[in-house]
Structure 1
Amino acid sequence: MIESVLPAEFDRQLFLRDYWQKKPLLIRAGELPFVDPITPEELAGLACEQEVESRLIQVNSAQDSWQLRTGPFTEAEFESLPQTHYSLLVQAVDHWTDEVSALLADFDFIPSWRIDDVMVSYATDGGNVGPHFDYYDVFLIQGMGQKRWQTGAMCNSMTPRRDESGLRLLQDFQAEQEWIVNPGDILYLPPGVSHYGVAIGNSMTYSVGFRAPSHADIASGLADEILDDLTEDQRFVDVKPGIPLHPGEISPEVVRHLRELVMGMIDRPELMRQWFGKTMTTPKYATEDAPSCCEHEDGHDHNHADISDIISLRAALDAGAEVFKVPGSRYAYALDSSHAELFVDGECYHCNWRLLTLLQALSAPGYTEALDPDVVAACNADEEAAQLLLTLYNRGSLIIG
């Protein structure tokens, strides 16, 4: 198990002040050697699974034409590949492999609800996905082999792109910086920075990506949340009826009234908080299909099939059952003056403030470690906390065993 990917001297405060969402940074590996938490063969095995999102990208020797295929793949397809110039990319490998999930432990200086997933790529010599940019922050952790990374100008939705391959690559990429990265090196890229990475020999990369909803997504999501509270009975009314200067004019008073009406709908911190919490914890991939959702590192089934109510839950916990988060489940919490809210997999649970220690334990990054036994024992002695654990267990967000 990897203990740390960031070097001991990495200054988190300095990084957040000077680099986060501002400019790229190459973080050279520390003294501890980096050991890949997954092999190329294991990655290829995941790419053969129906429920795993994967892509295979081939590039010609001239590095000017790319071909995209999407998984799942077969062994025959992998056996037919050339020796060079292709990349295999598998999304959300942290949901399937505990050792890959452990890579996230070092990034606890970023809110855990911002983390999206860990994409793992294997590239043969010359393999790459073309010059492009992303709309989110990403830490690119180099595993085995080497890669040449180039970064260029900031891009946006107006930047010319070529879409014939389905990859939305940049039409005109001009490198401004270039690095050769080795195992354990980490390249941080903020949103919008153009970049291009080409494998030197066989190479593995672990991409820690972060969620960043667009303003359009925020506006439409909030609008949908507001619409749920509105009825056909609520209509526009003339606040100060009077004879208009001209019957066709929309007066400034009408516009002012509309603005106040809309602002009154939006200016609701509780609604906004709950929508954001549910949105940021909605899983990208179904968690109930994860192969490790009912087993842990020893490969045995850890879920108690006989937990059906509070009595059986407490009996299981008294007998020493441990509590794990299901791989891929997402947790966050928020505090109000009167109560706390726990957000899990797109749902909101209202809780008493006294459950804060439990909420913090559940919302910590990663799922490979069981919840603190003291926290679990306290839950067993608290009716509301025990009921919350039972609810999350029944909804497939917790493993108890």
Structure 2
Amino acid sequence: MTDHLVVLDQLPTATEFYRSYWNRRPFVVRGAIAADVMGELISGEELAGLAMEEAPQSRMVRTAGAKQNWSCDFGPFAEKDFTKAGEKNWSLLVQHVEQFHPETSVLLRAFSFAPRWLMDDIMVSFSAPGGSVGGHIDSYHVFLVQGEGKRRWKIGREAIEQEHYIEDIPLKVLSEEFIGDDVEVTSGDVIYVPPRFAHEGTTLESALTYSVGFLGPKLSELFSGYAQYLAEFEDLDQRYVGAGLDEGSAGFMLDRSAVDSLRQSFAAPLASEDFTQWLVEFFTASSHEDFGDYSEREEMLYDDEFEGELKDGASLIKPEYVKFAITAAAEGGFALGFDSQSFSLDEKLFPLVQMFMKEELVNSKSYPDLFEHPAYLEFLLELYNHQALEFA
């Protein structure tokens, strides 16, 4: 390993991360994740079992020869697929593992300095010796957490603006070598790779890798998402009536005043509090088709049942895999987003919500004002009945 890849003693603080690394340069941290946390994560056998189910998105990548022959098959898989794979040169990758194996989501606590509202998923890969998906670039920020086994990574030194891929293969593998630094990682080591920095991992000993990805939306996704939101409210979805036009727009002429008028029709909704409210809904929508429909739990509780549980000493907690987004409102208070829904809340509730965002236990002892106002319990019950909170 050379001096180009930064080696840190511990994961950075939020200030250090955004000042020196976010979108700027990769780093590696040895032993960043404690052994007891690593022990909670999904195992190779459990990952294989998950890949046999219908809902998870899974794929198996194989290489042959000098990595000139690539194949990629998509799940669900059967036991025979793993038997036929052999002992070398293949990798199994499963998306959204935090949703299907909630214990794995405890890993997210280590990355509280990153924007959790941009968290996309935890992808987990098991790879046999020689397993690789080739040199590639991603559109997202990724923390590569090494589980069991050993892998060697080559990490690029700068973002690639124009990439070229090997033709006629089912994967996006870079066709040209990239300049980078080599590093071997073992259990608990973490590598941060910014978007568009090339990287390539090769398995030295049968290994598990937990990829924690943070992905921002495309501009087109933001525009179309907000447009759909506006369309749901007649008073927000105003028709363009040509305010401010003059004789310069007569006939077929779209003059400067018309262009400015149209631009303003875009600007006004973007400057409104409705846009702020929508953002917390947008960033808590799931990228997996089976999640994100604000579904109620099968066994819902009613007000008196819920209050009784808490008065009997029960504690509430937000599971790590549940994504919140929060933003201050212009007129005081704040908006909380969860699972494509939003809540306008009084600022007095912020300390309570903050405890949930830190995945801390909330009960009558940790939050003495829990029963101060009926609205507090109504809000918590709403979150509980829609599976944002659980009893610990």
Q: Relative to structure 1, is the Cα distance of residues 14 and 370 closer, same or farther in structure 2, using a 3 angstrom cutoff?
A: closer
Residue of 148, 151, 154 corresponding to 2:155: 151
Residue of 349, 352, 370 corresponding to 1:355: 349
By how many angstroms is 1:288 displaced?
9.2
Secondary structure of 1:161's partner? Answer: coil
Q: Relative to structure 1, is the Cα distance of residues 73 and 258 closer, same or farther in structure 2, using a 3 angstrom cutoff?
A: same
Give the corresponding residue for 2:24: 22
| Counterpart amino acid of residue 155 in structure 1 | I
Alpha-carbon distance between aligned partners in 1 of 2:77 and 2:226, rounded to the nearest angstrom: 38
Unaligned runs of 5+ in 1: 1-5, 295-302
Q: Does residue 171 of structure 2 align to residue 167 of structure 1? A: yes
Give the corresponding residue for 1:300: none
Alpha-carbon distance between aligned partners in 1 of 2:252 and 2:306, rounded to the nearest angstrom: 68
Q: Relative to structure 1, is the Cα distance of residues 381 and 145 closer, same or farther in structure 2, using a 3 angstrom cutoff?
A: same
By how many angstroms is 1:196 displaced?
0.9
Give the corresponding residue for 1:134: 138
Alpha-carbon distance between aligned partners in 2 of 1:170 and 1:343, rounded to the nearest angstrom: 38
Give the corresponding residue for 2:324: 331
Residue of 188, 196, 200 corresponding to 1:184: 188
Q: Does residue 38 of structure 2 align to residue 44 of structure 1? A: no
Alpha-carbon distance between aligned partners in 2 of 1:240 and 1:142, rounded to the nearest angstrom: 61
Alpha-carbon distance between aligned partners in 2 of 1:28 and 1:256, rounded to the nearest angstrom: 54
Q: Does residue 281 of structure 2 align to residue 278 of structure 1? A: yes
Secondary structure of 2:365's partner? Answer: helix
Alpha-carbon distance between aligned partners in 1 of 2:312 and 2:119, rounded to the nearest angstrom: 34
By how many angstroms is 1:99 displaced?
4.2
Q: Does residue 369 of structure 2 align to residue 378 of structure 1? A: yes
Q: Structure 1, residues 91-129: CA drift from partner, whole Å, max 9, x if none?
A: 222334354222222211123212222211111011011
1:7–1:30 CA contact under 8 A, matched in 2: no
By how many angstroms is 1:208 displaced?
1.2
Give the corresponding residue for 1:400: 391
Q: Structure 1, residues 321-340: CA drift from partner, whole Å, max 9, x if none?
A: 33233564321222223322
Unaligned runs of 5+ in 2: 1-6
Superposed, 1:1-400 pairs within 5 Å as 9-12=10-13, 13-29=15-31, 35-36=38-39, 37-152=41-156, 154-156=159-161, 158-162=162-166, 164-229=168-233, 234-237=239-242, 239-242=244-247, 244=248, 247-268=251-272, 270-285=273-288, 286=290, 305=299, 308-325=301-318, 328-336=321-329, 337-364=331-358, 370-375=361-366, 378-400=369-391
1:96–1:327 CA contact under 8 A, matched in 2: no
Q: Relative to structure 1, is the Cα distance of residues 8 and 375 closer, same or farther in structure 2, using a 3 angstrom cutoff?
A: farther
Q: Relative to structure 1, is the Cα distance of residues 386 and 54 closer, same or farther in structure 2, using a 3 angstrom cutoff?
A: same
By how many angstroms is 1:344 displaced?
1.0
Alpha-carbon distance between aligned partners in 2 of 1:233 and 1:31, rounded to the nearest angstrom: 51
Q: Relative to structure 1, is the Cα distance of residues 217 and 30 closer, same or farther in structure 2, using a 3 angstrom cutoff?
A: closer
Q: Structure 1, residues 337-367: CA drift from partner, whole Å, max 9, x if none?
A: 33222211110012222111221122235xx
Secondary structure of 2:85's partner? Answer: coil
Q: Relative to structure 1, is the Cα distance of residues 287 and 82 closer, same or farther in structure 2, using a 3 angstrom cutoff?
A: same
TM-score, normalising length from structure 2?
0.85
1:58–1:85 CA contact under 8 A, matched in 2: yes
Deviates more, 1:215-224 or 1:39-48: 215-224
Q: Structure 1, residues 19-70: CA drift from partner, whole Å, max 9, x if none?
A: 1111111222369668553321122122222222222111113112221112
Secondary structure of 1:29's partner? Answer: coil
Alpha-carbon distance between aligned partners in 1 of 2:285 and 2:12, rounded to the nearest angstrom: 31
Q: Relative to structure 1, is the Cα distance of residues 154 and 30 closer, same or farther in structure 2, using a 3 angstrom cutoff?
A: closer
1:94–1:118 CA contact under 8 A, matched in 2: yes
Identity of matched residues, %: 28
Alpha-carbon distance between aligned partners in 1 of 2:212 and 2:238, rounded to the nearest angstrom: 47
2:154–2:200 CA contact under 8 A, matched in 1: yes
2:92–2:126 CA contact under 8 A, matched in 1: yes
2:17–2:113 CA contact under 8 A, matched in 1: no
By how many angstroms is 1:378 displaced?
3.2
Aligned residues: 378
Alpha-carbon distance between aligned partners in 2 of 1:391 and 1:214, rounded to the nearest angstrom: 31
1:132–1:194 CA contact under 8 A, matched in 2: yes
By how many angstroms is 1:139 displaced?
0.9
TM-score, normalising length from structure 1?
0.83
By how many angstroms is 1:209 displaced?
0.9
| Counterpart amino acid of residue 273 in structure 1 | T
